[in-house]
Amino acid sequence: MFDIVYLLEMLGIIAFAISGMIVARAKNMDPVGVFTIGFITALGGGTLRDLILDNHPVYWIKHQEQPVLILVMAILFSYWKHADRLRTSQIVIPDAVGLGVFSILGAQLALDLGHSWLIASFLGVMTGTFGGALRDTLCNEVPQIFRKDQVYASVSFAGCWLYFFCQSLLGNEALPLTIGVAFIAIVRILAVRYDIRLQRDANHQ
Amino acid sequence: MFDIVYLLEMLGIIAFAISGMIVARAKNMDPVGVFTIGFITALGGGTLRDLILDNHPVYWIKHQEQPVLILVMAILFSYWKHADRLRTSQIVIPDAVGLGVFSILGAQLALDLGHSWLIASFLGVMTGTFGGALRDTLCNEVPQIFRKDQVYASVSFAGCWLYFFCQSLLGNEALPLTIGVAFIAIVRILAVRYDIRLQRDANHQ
Amino acid sequence: MFDIVYLLEMLGIIAFAISGMIVARAKNMDPVGVFTIGFITALGGGTLRDLILDNHPVYWIKHQEQPVLILVMAILFSYWKHADRLRTSQIVIPDAVGLGVFSILGAQLALDLGHSWLIASFLGVMTGTFGGALRDTLCNEVPQIFRKDQVYASVSFAGCWLYFFCQSLLGNEALPLTIGVAFIAIVRILAVRYDIRLQRDANHQ
Residue A123, pLDDT > 90, answer yes
Average pLDDT over chain B reads: 87
Residue B38 has a pLDDT of 94
Contacts of B178 (CB under 8 A, 6+ apart): B4
Average pLDDT, integer, range B185-205: 71
Residue B22 domain-assigned?
A: yes
pLDDT tens, position by position, A16-63: 999 999 988 888 788 888 898 999 999 999 999 999 999 999 989 989
Of C181, C11, C190, the closest CA to residue C94 belongs to C11
Residues A17 and A60 sit within 8 Å (Cβ to Cβ): no
Q: Compute mean pLDDT per 10 residues along chain C, 205 residues long, and list them.
A: 81 94 85 89 94 92 92 89 74 92 95 93 94 84 67 90 94 88 94 71 43
If you average pLDDT over every residue of chain A, what do you get? 87
Contacts of residue A9, Cβ cutoff 8 Å, sequence gap at least 6? A59, A63, A66, A101, A105
Q: pLDDT tens digit string along B43-56?
A: 999 999 999 999 99
- The pLDDT of residue C2 is 57
- Within a domain: B205: no
Residue C20, CA distances (Å) to A149, B70, B107, C198 in order: 38, 36, 25, 26
Q: Is the pLDDT of residue A81 over 80?
A: no
State the ipTM, two decimals: 0.84
**C96 touching A (Cβ < 8 Å):** no
Q: Is C66 on the interface with B (CB under 8 A)?
A: no
Q: With contact defined as beta carbons under 8 Å apart, do B176 and B167 qualify?
A: yes
Query: B145 and C36: CB-CB below 8 Å?
Result: yes
Mutual angle of helices C65-78 and B117-138, in 10-degree steps: 60
Confidence of residue B88 (pLDDT cuts 50, 70, 90): confident
State percent of chain B over pLDDT 70.
Answer: 89
Instruction: Write the residue in C33, C78, C84 that is nearest to B146 by C-beta.
Output: C33
Dist CA A104 CA A125 (whole Å): 9
Residue B99 has pLDDT above 90, yes or no: yes
**A150-154, B64-68, B193-197: which has the highest mean pLDDT?**
B64-68
Residue in chain B lying closest to C66 (CA): B119
The residue among A13, A114, A5 whose CA lies nearest residue A54 is A114
pLDDT at B89 over 80: no
pLDDT for the residue A25: 85
Q: Rounded to an integer, what distance in angstroms lies between the CA atom of residue C22 and that of residue A45?
A: 33
Is B204 inside any structural domain? Answer: no
Instruction: Enumerate neighbours of B (3 or more CB pairs within 8 A).
Output: A, C
Q: pLDDT of A135-160, one tens digit each?
A: 888 887 767 666 665 678 889 999 99
Q: Taking residues B20-35, report their average pLDDT.
A: 86
Confidence (pLDDT) at B149: 56
For residue B151, is it left (φ>0), alpha (ψ between -120 and 50) or beta? beta
Residue A22 lies in a domain: yes
What pLDDT does residue B78 have? 83
Q: How confident is the model at residue A198 (pLDDT cuts 50, 70, 90)?
A: low
Specify the pLDDT at position B199: 56
**Interface membership of A132 toward C (CB under 8 Å):** no
**Burial class of residue A98 in the structure, from the number of CB atoms within 10 Å of its CB (0-12 exposed, 13-18 middle, 19+ buried):** buried
**Total number of domains constituting chain B:** 1
Pick the closest to residue A153 from A135, A179, A126 (CA basis). A126
Q: If we measure between CA atoms, which residue out of A202, A47, B157 comes closest to residue C33? A: B157
pLDDT band at B194 (very low <50, low <70, confident <90, very high): confident
pLDDT digits (tens, 9 = 90+) for C144-162: 666 665 678 889 999 999 9
Query: Residue A201 domain-assigned?
Result: no
CA distance A180 to A188: 12
**3-class SS of residue A115:** coil
Does residue C155 lie within any of the structural domains?
A: yes
pLDDT band at B205 (very low <50, low <70, confident <90, very high): very low
Percent of chain B with pLDDT over 90: 58
Domain that holds residue A63: 2-194
Give yes or no for residue B81 having a pLDDT over 50.
yes
A 10 A CB-CB count for C64 gives 14
Cβ C33–B118 below 8 Å, yes or no? no
Q: Please tell me the predicted confidence (pLDDT) of residue C205.
A: 37
| Segment B117-172, tens digit of pLDDT | 999 999 999 999 999 888 888 887 777 666 665 678 889 999 999 999 999 998 87
Does A179 fall in a domain?
yes
B202 assigned to some structural domain: no
Residues of chain C with Cβ-Cβ distance to B54 below 8 Å are 54, 56-57
Residues of chain A neighbouring C143 (CB-CB closer than 8 A): 138
